[in-house]
């Protein structure tokens, strides 16, 4: 391992778990976030950063840093109400990222790990035709475009400096404390709500939080990771129907799934203006992680069922409070 790591976005869903793992591994960490970290581990140097944009001065933070793990971002949100979302995404995800990376290279940082998004690859795949790490990007929404532009800028920087860049594009991340649609799914299952998702024959790649964190930590100093782009998943693709059944089992519930044809669900969602949600429920999004496995000799340490049980355990503990 390297001697000192800078972690941005340390209070976020992924960043918190990366910080926990680095501390467990005995790494020296400087952790940064825009929101105050109320209980920073004693071994961690914590610095609150007011903004992440082209004007942020990282000089003090980068002193003595050997590797940067950049988790901070303006994240994708459903139903964004901004009048110019692409400009807002670019300010943080492109300008803020490249500003930090340029200063990191100037400070002698050896490796910069950028947590990107599968949205750079696109919004969905044909069943059985997964995305590959080195295929042509095809982002659709402003968030995906901003992440792609940040990747492009980082690759250029890697050719102009001695700093190595590693890009990781996760699929949907789940685990203890997960929010949004995955949390809603657990709530429905916990309440035994009948769901019309019993006949969906799609395939979606997911990644457990622990698996993503393990890959990030692997990339800190693995020689073969330098200047590479990696896709990451659990290595097992599930249909929405199968995911609900297995999540229900993790919660100790029998999923009540009605066999409504996918086409009817899609038509109903379109009528309600919920096409994006229907695409996530009925469409496929698969990734091929063979490059990640072979180049890094990496295997997801957690199986899907074990990962679902960890998410379910945390959810049930929260419900009992």
Contacts of 253 (CB under 8 A, 6+ apart): 189, 190, 192
Catalytic annotation, residues: 143
DSSP string, 116-134: --GGGT-S-B-TT--B-TT
Total Cβ atoms within 10 A of residue 131: 22
Strands 67-70 and 111-115 turn out to be parallel
Sign for the pseudo-dihedral over CA of 71, 77, 82, 86: positive
Residue that is written with structure tokens 């959810």 in the block? 315
Give the integer Cα–Cα distance in Å for 231 and 131.
8
Contact (CB, 8 A) for 173 and 212 = yes
142-145-147-149 Cα dihedral, nearest 10 degrees: -130
CA distances from 308 to 13, 200, 236 (A): 16, 20, 13
Contact (CB, 8 A) for 146 and 91 = no
């Amino acid at each position: 391992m390297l001697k000192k790591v800078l972690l941005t976005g340390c209070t976020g869903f992924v960043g918190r778990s990366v910080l926990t793992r680095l501390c467990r591994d005995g790494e020296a960490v400087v952790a940064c976030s825009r929101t105050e970290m109320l209980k920073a581990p004693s071994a961690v140097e914590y610095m609150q950063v007011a903004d992440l944009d082209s004007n942020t001065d990282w000089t003090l933070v980068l002193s003595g840093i050997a590797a940067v793990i950049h988790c901070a971002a303006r994240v994708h949100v459903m139903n964004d109400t901004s009048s110019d979302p692409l400009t807002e995404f670019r300010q943080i995800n492109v300008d803020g990222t490249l500003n930090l990376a340029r200063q990191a290279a100037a400070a002698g940082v050896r490796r910069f790990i950028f947590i990107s998004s599968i949205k750079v690859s696109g919004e969905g795949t044909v069943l059985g035709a997964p995305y590959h790490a080195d295929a042509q990007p095809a982002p659709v929404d402003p968030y995906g475009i901003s992440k792609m532009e940040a990747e492009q800028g980082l690759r250029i920087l890697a050719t102009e400096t001695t700093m190595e860049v590693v890009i990781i594009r996760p699929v949907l991340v789940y685990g203890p404390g997960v929010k949004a649609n995955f949390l809603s799914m657990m709530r429905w299952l916990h309440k035994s709500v009948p769901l019309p998702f019993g006949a969906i024959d799609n395939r979606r790649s997911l990644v457990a939080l622990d698996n993503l964190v393990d890959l990030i930590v692997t990339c800190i100093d693995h020689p073969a990771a330098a200047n590479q782009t990696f896709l990451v998943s659990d290595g097992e693709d599930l249909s929405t129907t199968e995911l609900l059944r297995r999540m229900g089992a993790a919660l100790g519930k029998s999923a009540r799934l009605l066999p409504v044809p996918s086409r009817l669900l899609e038509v109903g969602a379109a009528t309600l203006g919920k096409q994006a949600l229907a695409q996530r429920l009925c469409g496929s999004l698969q990734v091929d992680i063979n490059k990640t496995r072979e180049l890094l000799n990496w295997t997801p340490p957690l199986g899907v069922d074990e990962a679902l049980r960890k998410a379910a355990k945390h959810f049930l503990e929260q419900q009992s409070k």
